[in-house]
Amino acid sequence: MKIAVKFIFHFVSAGALIFGSAGCANYSEKIIFPSEALMAPAPPDPQPIGMSKLAKAEIAQIESVIFEDLLQRHLGDDGKYSAVFLHASQTTTQQLMKKFPHHTPPIKQLWHLELRDAQSPLDRDTQQAAMVLSVETLEPENDMVQAIGRWNGGEAVKGFYQFDLKKYGQVWTVAK
């Protein structure tokens, strides 16, 4: 009798498992879990950006003008930064290092910079917080171009200035 009960139990269990899983396999609707329901669909890939109307030399000149302006401003509240890094070419950075040899904090090349998530940028030489400056140049319109000079010293100290530049001869200058 024990063998018969055991056999029936195993037979019923195996049948429930087979029929139960077969029913799940035929279910065609996608089950949406709460974590999936909150996710937005991925945005489409951005379209490739066309060639700029500005030559590389003009972009470098505009960046230098904006960096010079930003380097002469007081961008941090407490002066706790050990270095300023320019998001620019090595040549542009070297030119500005020569133009501002006694800048406080000193201007350094990008390879001395360490970026950290949700923290201030870090000067690898001193292991202290640093400031990063960058320039975004927009497309020119009617011999004028707009550029945005940004600074980032961490979440609490970041911002930007917008500049209008006009070309006089071969030189871009900030329009007054």
Task: List, for residues 27-45, the tens digit of each pLDDT value.
Answer: 566 665 554 444 444 444 4
Give pTM, 2 decimals: 0.68
pLDDT digits (tens, 9 = 90+) for 43-67: 444 434 455 688 899 999 999 999 9
Q: So what's the pLDDT on residue 77?
A: 60
pLDDT more than 90, % of the chain: 41
What is the DSSP secondary-structure string of 72-136? TS---SS---S-EEESS-HHHHHHHHHHSTT-SSPEE-GGGEE--TTS--EETTTTEE-EEEEEE
Q: How many Å apart are CA 119 and CA 135, to the nearest integer? A: 21
Q: How far apart are the first and last CA of the chain?
A: 103
Phi, psi of 34 (to 5 degrees): -55, -35
Q: How many Å apart are CA 47 and CA 66, to the nearest integer? A: 28
Q: How many Å apart are CA 34 and CA 116, to the nearest integer? A: 31
Q: So what's the pLDDT on residue 13?
A: 61
Q: How many Å apart are CA 59 and CA 65, to the nearest integer? A: 10
SS3 173: strand
Q: How many Å apart are CA 3 and CA 73, to the nearest integer? A: 91
pLDDT digits (tens, 9 = 90+) for 67-76: 999 999 887 6
Going from N- to C-terminal start, the domains of the chain cover 56-174
SS3 27: coil
